[in-house]
Amino acid sequence: MGYDVGGVNVSRETFDDLHRFSELVQKWTAKINLISPSTVSSLWERHIVDSAQIYASAPKTYDKWVDIGSGGGFPGIVVAIIGKVAQPNAKFILIESDQRKATFLRSAIRELNLPAKVLAERIESAAPQDADIVSARALSTLSMLLPFVDRHLKPEGQAVLHKGKRAREEVADAAINWRFALEDSTSLTDPEAQILIVKGISRVSE
């Protein structure tokens, strides 16, 4: 018997680790504001479940998953917790330039024994990662994200991006300068938000 979290069936071990991570976020948020104080009371649904659905939308097999702009670990730490059991040979890279948040992420990785590492660098400065999957949640517009995704994603890889209610507008704007294949689905936690699967990314020729 498993537990459903954001459309992912997880083991008791994974479920417990997600709760431990939730507790770590609450503890550290009092010091460095990992998440908005107004969302602490709804942390499980608003951040844990919201991040887990990104894993549910991603390819089921992969070797390297890169999360850009990881912030407080959403979705980076959440997908690493799920992937530790679901894809035990995979590696997770979290790119976060804020040094305090990077310190928190490293602490969470140690405490939860995750197969992950943190690059405390700017996304555009970090060495290209050649990832199978690149994820991002509430980071920037699609037009601004695609150069980052293109830098770190292998040619046959896929990006899984959590976008808000302006997702369709962002897609249309990004299509001016980029070619890509797109699949979208409605967020489980917000009917106005979208999960975008983006692949086959290339710049439109001048």
* Strand 153-163 versus strand 178-186 pairing type: unpaired
With 0-12 CB in 10 A as exposed, 13-18 as middle and 19+ as buried, what is 116?
Answer: buried
* Per-10-residue mean pLDDT, the chain, length 206: 92 97 93 83 92 96 97 97 97 97 98 98 97 94 96 97 94 97 94 95 85
Vertex 51, ends 150 and 155: CA angle to 5°? 20
How many whole angstroms from its chain centre is CA 53? 10
Quick one: tokens of 5? 């979290």
Rg (CA), the chain: 16
Domains and CATH numbers, the chain: 3-203 (3.40.50.150)
Q: Quote the CA–CA distance of 123 and 152 in Å, as a whole number.
A: 9
Q: What is the pLDDT of residues 143-178, one digit of tens each?
A: 999 999 999 999 999 999 999 999 999 999 999 999
Model confidence over 82-103: pLDDT tens digits? 999 999 999 999 999 999 999 9
What is the distance between the alpha carbons of residues 201 and 81, in angstroms, rounded to a whole number?
28
